[in-house]
Amino acid sequence: MTFARDMSAHHAQPVTMSVTLFMRAADPAVKLLAQDLLLSEQAQIRQMRGWLMAWGRPLADREAPMADPRWV
């Protein structure tokens, strides 16, 4: 469960970066790449959150994402 929550947070980082890139890019190919990355990362987050909901587990944890010492 911790893995799915941590990876959801991890995948949220490129979502934020993709939005910034999409808004700032002038090149249509770069905008398309940013959009593709944004949509694929959001789909993966939805999948992991779906697992957590199916398992009856909370979407968030009390600890900060990736606070588990095994991630270091």
Q: pLDDT tens across 48-64, in order?
A: 889 989 989 888 766 65
**What integer is the mean pLDDT of 37-56?**
92
Q: Rounded to 10 degrees, what is the CA torsion of 40, 46, 52, 53?
A: -160
With respect to residue 12, please indicate whether it lies within any of the assigned structural domains: yes
Across 5-29, b (16+ Cβ under 10 Å) vs e yields: bbbbebbeebbeebeebbeeeeeee
With respect to residue 18, please indicate whether it lies within any of the assigned structural domains: yes
With respect to residue 29, please indicate whether it lies within any of the assigned structural domains: yes
Q: Rounded to 10 degrees, what is the CA torsion of 33, 39, 17, 57?
A: -150
Going by C-beta distance under 8 Å and a sequence separation of 6 or more, which residues neighbour residue 69? none
Query: What pLDDT is attached to residue 32?
Result: 97
With respect to residue 27, please indicate whether it lies within any of the assigned structural domains: yes
Domain assignment of residue 48, given as a range: 2-57
Work out how many domains the chain is built from and give that number: 1
Instruction: Report residue 4's pLDDT band, with 50, 70 and 90 as the boundaries.
Output: confident
With respect to residue 67, please indicate whether it lies within any of the assigned structural domains: no
Instruction: Report yes or no on whether pTM surpasses 0.75.
Output: no
With respect to residue 41, please indicate whether it lies within any of the assigned structural domains: yes
